[in-house]
Structure 1
Amino acid sequence: MSRRLRMRAAFLLLAAMLAAYLAISYLLVPDLWLFRDSRRKVPLNPMVTSTEQGIAGDPINVGLVGSREQLIRAFAAAGWDAADKVTLRSSVDIGLSVALDRPDLDAPVSPLFYEGRKQDLAFEKPVGRSADQRNHVRFWQTATAGQGNGPLWLGSASFDRGVGLSHDTGQITHHIGPDLDAERDLVIGDLEKAGQVAETYEIPGVGATSNGRNGGGDPYFTDGKALVGVLNPASAASAGAAAK
């Protein structure tokens, strides 16, 4: 067999293996997983997000009270970046960031769903050079008013400790760190340090959990409370003016 034919055969084999992996991990296994372990399919708790397949995701552990513009300005002032939407281009960029250990400050976050829709906003702060490790948080605007009568945004904050394969489906994903309370406190703490939070208060979350698992099969623990920050309108406006 000539070298060209061997290369073609190797390419076709690789393509077939990739197609089989995608079909098994993204189509077949999620359905089998739900059939095998339907108890973890949401709704389990009104303060838990879900994956697109209906698998229980990360719990709600943080909240902010303020307008959409206030959230964007507050995180910019705190040194966090808005995450890109998931597209082919952004997915390639984050893959290259991890593989080549180069920055991708606005790398996308995978969609999670709360009350039937995916996140409205997402922010991140990289740890190290690439998007392999990062602090990140997703937010959903609710129809409920928070303390001070402003719009209440509920969020799910977690630490991405590295890229790997989902323990449940084999899909490529970020694995999260188990201490969700530390990440919740970091988000609010960074906003407080930047002068963006006027006051904080707690609301009931998922409840105390010592052996939770998210949509990627990663374990987590939490005291089960959500920490809510009321954004300071004056500080957000000042941050916006300074950026111009």
Structure 2
Amino acid sequence: MDQKTKIINFTARTFRVLVAVVFGYTIYDLFFRNILTRKIHIFLYIVTWLILSYLIIPNITKIITTIYLPEYFIGRSRTSDGVLGDSVNLLIDGSKEDIEAAFLKMGWTKSDKITLRSSLKIIKSSLLHQSYPTAPVSSLFLFSKKQ
């Protein structure tokens, strides 16, 4: 990785952390400053963040996409929860075996299955900034079929 790329990556990470801190403080200042004691405000901030991030926002997204993007919309795949996933921008026609053989011949690797072992390996590689070329990917669905 060249020096310019390192600087850009560092700047992007720093910006994301700064935005998270400013956003978090703004939420705290607007909603929680007057009602929370200093003993529990960090705990409630984390609980609020978890509820928003993993319950409320994904469900709002799911409802909106159900209303505005019908199941037959081909532009995006969906997760198992119905939340929009990756864009669909490639179509390959052939048998599963032929496609896998062609990808392997081009140097692609097949991803591992999602298991406890692979999940721990993902955590380890993330914490140690190591590569995990065969990391599992989440299941995405197109036309209600697992891809």
Short-chain TM bin = 0.5 to 0.7
Structure 1 gaps, min length 5: 1-13, 120-244
Q: Aligned letter for 1:73?
A: A
Give, in angstroms, the shift of residue 41 of structure 1. 4.5
Answering whether residue 119 of structure 2 is matched by residue 91 of structure 1, we say yes
Output one character per residue of 1:21-77: Cα deviation in whole Å (capped at 9) or x when no partner: 555433333223334665454436234311223233223211223221112211111
Q: Deviations 1:111-148 (Å, cap 9, x if unpaired)?
A: 211111322xxxxxxxxxxxxxxxxxxxxxxxxxxxxx
The structure with more strand, counted as a fraction of residues: 1
Q: Do residues 59 (structure 1) and 84 (structure 2) align? A: no
Instruction: Identify if the C-alpha distance between structure 1 residues 63 and 35 changes in structure 2 by more than 3 Å, giving closer, same or farther.
Output: closer
Distance 1:92 1:37 in 2: 32
Residue 103 of structure 1 corresponds to: 131
| TM superposition shift of 1:83 | 1.0
SS in 1 for 2:124: helix
Supply the distance in 2 between the matched residues of 1:18 and 1:90 (Cα, whole angstroms): 27
TM-score (norm 1): 0.36
Contact preservation (8 Å) 2:112, 2:134: yes
Q: Please give the root-mean-square deviation of Cα atoms over the aligned residues, in Å.
A: 3.1
Is 1:29 the counterpart of 2:61? The answer is no
Q: Which segments of 5 or more consecutive residues in structure 2 lack a partner in the other structure?
A: 1-41
Normalising to structure 2: TM-score of the pair? 0.55
1:161 alignment counterpart:
none
Give the drift of 1:100: 0.8
Residues 174-201 of structure 1, C-alpha deviation per residue, up to 9 Å, x if partnerless? xxxxxxxxxxxxxxxxxxxxxxxxxxxx
How many corresponding residue pairs? 106
Match of 2:34 in 1: none
Between 1 and 2, higher relative CO (CA 8 Å, sep ≥ 6) is seen in 1
Tell me by how many angstroms 1:106 deviates: 0.7
